[in-house]
Structure 1
Amino acid sequence: MIKNVLNTIKIYIKNLLLRSKHHKIPFFKGLLLKIRGFKPEAYVQYDFKTYNKNEFITNVQRWKSRRINGKGNEILDNKSLFYENFNSFVEIPKTILIAKNGNVFDLEGRILNEEEIILVFKNYPKTIFKPNNGAGGINVLLFEFKNNNFYINSNLVNNDDFFNVIKTYAEYILTEFVEQHEYARNLYEHTTNTIRIVTTKLKNDGVIIPLAMHRVGTSKTVPVDNASFGGLFSMIDVKTGVLSVAKSYTTSSNYLLHPESNNNISGVVVPRWEEIKNEILKVANSFKEIPFMSWDIVVTNNSFVVLEINGSTGLDFIQMFEPQKNKALGIFFKERGIIK
């Protein structure tokens, strides 16, 4: 109890220190929002003209939601533990190498020299290099090996620079690259465009999917679709799999089409949506000790691949469409004591 109170105080202080990343917010407007538990960006991003502020889940409440899973988050946060626990249930990109403290290891723990590393890349010419802990597509690199040359995020680099990069990062893993379905590639072909599916379990009920979002990358986010770096995001109708208009953190525009590819976003249907939902619900029911999961998946030609599962979800990109406090996610938070 005391620990939770102290953590809540820390969260409030952390929130008060936040600065707007994407917009210039009037100081006192931003301060009042932070006192109420919101990020200052909510002044621009949330529709406070249509909805009452009390209808929104605050940023402080969102941070507190990390408590819901307890120790279950340890499985989700560490990508190696995540792979061990979920690999028999869903398809997960295979881990190929581990980079740690200036060395590169195979899965048996043996340190590899540069010649051995090159041999690995000949067998896996397109890979993803990402932190072993963490989420959100931050500091993720695309590696390619073509014609005996290395490329990082499609940029040619010499061997010395490549090995400096791979040995500099601590606690990184190299995984297989996932080829996305044609529909996702059509949204924007230069990034892997992922889906965020949230699952929740009420104490006396089964697992449900309260909401789902589709991310779409831009030239600012290559090779990932990170919204914080300038990516787009669209709500998915959970019943039908149809995408809404897309939004961005950096503008107030609604995008029917991708601003760079000029391809449709709004109205696009996620292939095999019912099958994807059913499979995720089935797996989530097998991990009832982890009642709150945010699945990041890539739809492929044959099925889908789970990139990671997080023990919480950002709410900014969701509540830019509509507030969630009185919807299924908010009901779940109330039952778990996160909001009143």
Structure 2
Amino acid sequence: MNVRKLYHTARGVQDLVTTEREASVSPSIQRRLWLWRRGFLSRSDAIFGLTKKNHDSYLTDYQRFVKTKRINGTWSVALSNKLLFHQLMGPFDEHRMDVYGMIRDGSFHSIDSLDARHELTDGGAVVSSDGPSIDDQSGLTSPEPNDAAQRVVDRLESESQLVLKWVHGGGGNNVLLCKRCEDGYTVNGDRYSESAFRSLVADLEEYLVCEHVEQGTFSGGLYPVTPNTLRIITMYDEEAGEPFIAAAIHRIGTETSEPLDNFTQGGLSAEIDLETGELGPGVKLSDGNRLEWHSDHPETDTTIDGTHVPGWEDIRTRLLEVADACSFVPYAGWDVIVTGDDGEFKIIEANSYPGMKSIQVHGPLLTDDRVRRFYERHNVC
């Protein structure tokens, strides 16, 4: 084992141990030992209902945390670094969100817009890209044109909503949903005065300033408070020379999961039929890690079970084209927002070793022979 593999193995085991320590379930020591010997965490037992007969049909936590991290090799950075991923999606511009810039050392660094160092106005002052000027009314020096807080505030004045994402990491962590309101701002639902909001932005380091993607009527109707994303797992079949979709779910937010739709934070997961786009019932982790199944959304009463993702065939076809263009990254969990009724969508991000709880809560992955062969080929199973 080379140094790189040794490092990632150690990090994976560390993440595995940390996750187990933070688990809110406490099976007996005997049960935990049974699970650990087979590569599972306590929470997975509560979700999957593991037995001697079925446990080998599930991708284990050890395989996910340690072994699947190795599948994409050095190219995993193309997905884990959100700025690199944004550039990777350049040929599919209609399916990527706009990224206006990055916040670094208190400055705004333009990404998508070449003319981003535009003139700013502040109380009658005009600030050009050549540097600060003196306000002709107050005599005060105006902000630098690339001042991060000012640029974010200006953008919110015109768009009212933005998403700030840390360049690194995944799982919905370090994502700030920012909105302009009458008396200031909200960040992930918490209110901020303008001065507090500016301080928050100024303290961010290596955060992307992204457009807020408006979801379509179908996804928005399921639960309008949160973005409700599709999680689609693709794998590249080297023998066939093509990618395929291994599994897909529609994640749906709830009052518990706000401001996001994460399953492990209380959101719903509804399985998507890969051929028809039909949704099954939504499942939610309740207190005590018990599963609740819902044909209708428990808060909006919107029907889930039996409805169809609009334009699913087009979404599936187009996403496979994207995965094929990225065949050097053979394993990905794509987060997609459906923006219209005719197959329009945007890819929010992709994950190099996607979580499995929201997927395998609907059934074990390894019962699919093609999926099992993929994992075996990459020394996961």
Deviations 1:132-152 (A, max 9, x none): 111121132211124473222
Shift of 1:337: 1.4
Shift of 1:252: 1.9
Q: Does 2:292 match 1:292?
A: no
Structure 2, gaps ≥5 residues long:
118-144
Structure 2 equivalent of residue 53 of structure 1:
55
1:32-71 pair list within 5 angstroms: 32-49=34-51, 51-63=53-65, 64-71=67-74
The AA in structure 2 aligned to 1:338 is: V
Give yes or no for contact 1:56–1:319 (8 Å, CA) kept in 2.
Answer: yes
Structure 1 equivalent of residue 303 of structure 2:
264
Give yes or no for contact 2:165–2:174 (8 Å, CA) kept in 1.
Answer: yes
Identity of aligned residues (%): 27
Shift of 1:81: 0.9
The AA in structure 2 aligned to 1:15 is: L
Structure 2 equivalent of residue 173 of structure 1:
208
Shift of 1:89: 1.6
1:79-94 pair list within 5 angstroms: 79-90=82-93, 91-94=95-98
Give yes or no for contact 2:149–2:201 (8 Å, CA) kept in 1.
Answer: no
Structure 2 equivalent of residue 25 of structure 1:
27
Select the structure with the greater relative contact order (CA < 8 A; seq sep ≥ 6). 1
1:85-234 pair list within 5 angstroms: 85-90=88-93, 91-107=95-111, 111-112=146-147, 114-147=149-182, 149-205=184-240, 206-234=242-270
The AA in structure 2 aligned to 1:89 is: F
Per the alignment, in what secondary structure is the counterpart of residue 225 of structure 1?
Answer: coil
Per the alignment, in what secondary structure is the counterpart of residue 226 of structure 2?
Answer: coil
Instruction: Give the TM-score, by structure 2 length.
Output: 0.82
Give yes or no for contact 1:22–1:249 (8 Å, CA) kept in 2.
Answer: no
- The separation in 1 between residues aligned to 2:82 and 2:324, in whole angstroms, is 20
Per the alignment, in what secondary structure is the counterpart of residue 164 of structure 1?
Answer: helix
Structure 1 28/14 Cα, relative in aligned 2: closer, same or farther at 3 Å?
farther
- The separation in 2 between residues aligned to 1:112 and 1:218, in whole angstroms, is 36
- The separation in 2 between residues aligned to 1:174 and 1:164, in whole angstroms, is 16
The AA in structure 1 aligned to 2:217 is: E
Deviations 1:201-225 (A, max 9, x none): 1221111111101111111222211
- The separation in 2 between residues aligned to 1:59 and 1:282, in whole angstroms, is 30
Deviates more, 1:139-148 or 1:111-120: 111-120
Deviates more, 1:35-44 or 1:3-12: 3-12
- The separation in 2 between residues aligned to 1:170 and 1:226, in whole angstroms, is 24
Give yes or no for contact 1:25–1:43 (8 Å, CA) kept in 2.
Answer: no
- The separation in 2 between residues aligned to 1:322 and 1:151, in whole angstroms, is 38
Per the alignment, in what secondary structure is the counterpart of residue 210 of structure 1?
Answer: strand
The AA in structure 2 aligned to 1:97 is: G
The AA in structure 1 aligned to 2:323 is: A
- The separation in 2 between residues aligned to 1:215 and 1:269, in whole angstroms, is 14
Deviations 1:15-65 (A, max 9, x none): 355235343322331232123211111221113359521111111111211
Per the alignment, in what secondary structure is the counterpart of residue 21 of structure 1?
Answer: coil
- The separation in 2 between residues aligned to 1:203 and 1:113, in whole angstroms, is 45
- The separation in 1 between residues aligned to 2:104 and 2:10, in whole angstroms, is 35
Give yes or no for contact 1:33–1:42 (8 Å, CA) kept in 2.
Answer: no
Give yes or no for contact 2:249–2:269 (8 Å, CA) kept in 1.
Answer: yes
Shift of 1:6: 6.9
- The separation in 2 between residues aligned to 1:10 and 1:151, in whole angstroms, is 35
1:303-318 pair list within 5 angstroms: 303-318=344-359
Structure 1 83/115 Cα, relative in aligned 2: closer, same or farther at 3 Å?
closer
Structure 1, gaps ≥5 residues long:
none
- The separation in 1 between residues aligned to 2:101 and 2:239, in whole angstroms, is 42
Shift of 1:265: 1.5
Shift of 1:193: 0.2
Larger-Rg structure:
2
- The separation in 2 between residues aligned to 1:211 and 1:187, in whole angstroms, is 21
Give yes or no for contact 1:144–1:150 (8 Å, CA) kept in 2.
Answer: yes
Give yes or no for contact 1:293–1:311 (8 Å, CA) kept in 2.
Answer: yes
Instruction: Give the TM-score, by structure 1 length.
Output: 0.91
The AA in structure 2 aligned to 1:315 is: M
